[in-house]
Amino acid sequence: THRDPNQPEFQEAAFTVLDTLKPVLEKHPEYIKANILGELVEPERAIQFRVPWQDDEGNYQVNRGFRVQFNSAIGPYKGGLRLHPSVNLSIIKFLGFEQILKNSLTGLPIGGGKGGSDFNPKDKSDSEIMRFCQSFMTELQKHIGPDLDVPAGDIGVGGREIGYLYGQYKRLNGSQNGILTGKGLEYGGSLARTEATGFGLIYYLNALIKDQGESLKGKTIKISGAGNVAIYAIQKAQENGAKVVTASDSNGYVYDPNGIDLDTVKQIKEVERGRIKEYADKISSATYTEGSVWDLDIDYDIALPCATQNEISGDEAKLIAKDGAKYVAEGANMPSTTEAIQVYKDKGIIYGPAKAANAGGVAVSALEMSQNSERLSWTFEDVDGQLKDIMENIYQKSADADKEYDLGKDYQAGANIAGFEKVAKAMLAQGLV
Ligand code: NDP
């Protein structure tokens, strides 16, 4: 803590993970001797840079850019770029640290990194976004490469931004290297990337629930969000015979006891770019309420937070337990507060943490890197099939660690341990680097 006194998000993430690693260290004193934990919490490199750009009125603006290259023990740094006013070094380090273990869990050769800027894309014109992205990449391109560091999108960075960033990299380097993932299908993107996180969440959930002797068929699900993750989680859950009864945005939620009509949600969110409120105008069985979907009092079996960080407080977690839900699996990054996670444990709710449950997005990004290296494009079925295998393996590795260390169905600790062990072994093998 003395090194990073002003980094509360990073400290919380690091302490939470380190706490769950105690049983591994007792079993493997060689990790302590080699100070693996000391190295793990120290990024290999943290780059901070100025991003000057010109707004539409001709004013010069300056933002702060970051790329934290946290750990390359098992492969090139991989992790998204976030554009949001809240971005600072602490948040990027927290996300980058989590990414090391998430990427390790996928079983693919990718290290951990994260980046972004405190630029707010929400109120900017298309040309302002382009000028910002070009300036950001003018510096970032010095530090990335297909075998070194391959960034992707995150909050505020979608297909449009990836396109502008990629175009600038190409212009400066004269090469077509796959230095970013999340690209358009016309220039090196992967089929099934759009669906990957939502589908992957349900593949993970299926494996988890099967292991408890149950199935998704006939289960009632409450989901939050109506964005990329939520939409494809709803689709795959319905394909598995579950009934999803909610969807939400930052203003409110819809409740449809007949089950959410996915085509209507897709039309509103993906075509019309409207608000979830409009669902209740189109579907007569649905009601719209302002506020958090976690405060809706109905009986259901599974909670899938797919909106944003810290959306479930301790009190809301108590409501989840009271409503009879037995499972929580996280599509969003860190949607449950520390208090909420404690409630899940106290009430015997089985908890699938983001690091494991939402790793489908980065897994398919790594498959995009493979396709770019091969100069090939795989079919949707091929990528989707690999995604399913990867997610089932992630659950299995977490469950195996849970059994090995006798954690009592603590799949959060299981995921941390399974992700850590691969990285720790690789770090140990490579010596002081
Ligand atoms: P989107 O921007 O597509 O969708 C986010 C959704 O959540 C929107 O419907 C948004 O509503 C809603 N939302 C935002 N804030 C709140 C809030 N306070 N209360 C209720 N709803 C809210 O993002 P994604 O679906 O891509 O990402 C969702 C989460 O999943 C994020 O945490 C992201 O980091 C994580 N994630 C995403 C991956 C991916 O591949 N897309 C991969 C791994 C993690 P509104 O329109 O009002 O903002």
Residue 172 sits in the same domain as residue 58:
yes
Q: What does the mean pLDDT of the chain come to?
A: 96
Check if 248 has its Cβ closer than 6 Å to any atom of ligand 1: yes
Q: Answer yes or no: is pLDDT of 176 > 90.
A: no
Average of per-residue pLDDT across 337-356: 96
Q: Whose CA is closest to atom 47 on ligand 1?
A: 250
Helix, strand, coil % over all residues of the chain, rounded to 5:
50, 15, 35
Using 50, 70 and 90 to split pLDDT, how confident is the model at 21? very high
Pairing of strands 111-117, 77-83: parallel
Check if 229 has its Cβ closer than 6 Å to any atom of ligand 1: yes
Average of per-residue pLDDT across 349-364: 98
Residue 179 sits in the same domain as residue 199:
no
Q: Single out the residue in 357, 376, 402 at which a domain terminates.
A: 357
Residue 167 sits in the same domain as residue 202:
no
DSSP 98-153: HHHHHHHHTTSS-EEEEEEES---TT--HHHHHHHHHHHHHHHTTT-BTTTEEEEE
State what percent of residues in the chain have pLDDT above 90. 95
Q: Whose CA is closest to atom 26 on ligand 1?
A: 228
- Containing 429, the helix (H) or strand (E) segment is helix 411-430
State what percent of residues in the chain have pLDDT above 70. 100
Considering 114, 183, 269, 388, which one is annotated as catalytic? Answer: 114
CA pair distance 249, 324, nearest whole angstrom: 24
Task: Answer yes or no: 114 catalytic.
Answer: yes
Among 87, 102, 228, 248, which is best to mutate for testing ligand 1, by the most ligand atoms less than 8 A from CB? Answer: 228
**Binding positions:** 78, 99, 102, 153, 197, 228, 365
Residue 141 sits in the same domain as residue 232:
no
Q: Whose CA is closest to atom 29 on ligand 1?
A: 332
Q: How high is the ipTM of this complex?
A: 0.98
Is 108 part of any domain? yes
Using 50, 70 and 90 to split pLDDT, how confident is the model at 175? confident
pLDDT at residue 187 in the model: 95
What distance in angstroms lies between residue 227's CA and the mean position of ligand 1's atoms?
6
Is 16 part of any domain? no
pLDDT tens column, 33-68: 999 999 999 999 999 999 999 999 999 999 999 999
Residue 171 sits in the same domain as residue 198:
no
Q: Answer yes or no: is pLDDT of 202 > 70.
A: yes
CATH assignment of the domain containing 175: 3.40.50.10860
pLDDT at residue 273 in the model: 85
pLDDT at residue 1 in the model: 67
Higher pLDDT, 175 or 204: 204
Counting every residue, how long is the chain?
433
Rg (alpha carbons) of the chain, rounded to whole number:
21
Q: Answer yes or no: is pLDDT of 133 > 70.
A: yes
Residue 177 sits in the same domain as residue 225:
no
Owning domain of residue 140? 43-183
Unique residue bearing structure tokens 């797919």 = 306
Residue 227 sits in the same domain as residue 123:
no
Is 335 part of any domain? yes
Is 364 part of any domain? no
Q: Answer yes or no: is pLDDT of 3 > 90.
A: no
What distance in angstroms lies between residue 231's CA and the mean position of ligand 1's atoms?
10
What distance in angstroms lies between residue 177's CA and the mean position of ligand 1's atoms?
29
Residue 223 sits in the same domain as residue 167:
no
What distance in angstroms lies between residue 140's CA and the mean position of ligand 1's atoms?
25
What distance in angstroms lies between residue 306's CA and the mean position of ligand 1's atoms?
6
124 is written with which tokens?
């900017």
Residue 131 sits in the same domain as residue 167:
yes
Nearest CA among 213, 197, 218 for reference residue 329 = 197
Nearest CA among 364, 320, 351 for reference residue 220 = 320
Check if 332 has its Cβ closer than 6 Å to any atom of ligand 1: yes
Q: Answer yes or no: is pLDDT of 433 > 80.
A: no
Q: Single out the residue in 328, 357, 386 at which a domain terminates.
A: 357
Among 222, 235, 236, 249, which is best to mutate for testing ligand 1, by the most ligand atoms less than 8 A from CB? Answer: 249
pLDDT tens column, 367-397: 999 999 999 999 999 999 999 999 999 999 9
Q: Answer yes or no: is pLDDT of 268 > 80.
A: yes
What distance in angstroms lies between residue 308's CA and the mean position of ligand 1's atoms?
5
Residue 174 sits in the same domain as residue 210:
no
Number of independent structural domains in the chain: 2
Average of per-residue pLDDT across 60-88: 97
Q: Whose CA is closest to atom 32 on ligand 1?
A: 332
Residue 201 sits in the same domain as residue 274:
yes
Q: Single out the residue in 335, 357, 379 at which a domain terminates.
A: 357
Average of per-residue pLDDT across 102-129: 97
Check if 308 has its Cβ closer than 6 Å to any atom of ligand 1: yes
Residue 171 sits in the same domain as residue 201:
no
Using 50, 70 and 90 to split pLDDT, how confident is the model at 15? very high
- Strand ranges (DSSP E) for 130-256? 149-153, 220-223, 243-244, 246-248, 252-255
Q: Answer yes or no: is pLDDT of 298 > 70.
A: yes
CATH assignment of the domain containing 233: 3.40.50.720
Average of per-residue pLDDT across 18-45: 95
pLDDT tens column, 225-265: 999 999 999 999 999 999 999 999 999 999 999 999 999 99
Is 34 part of any domain? no
Nearest atom (ligand 1) to Cα of 251: 47
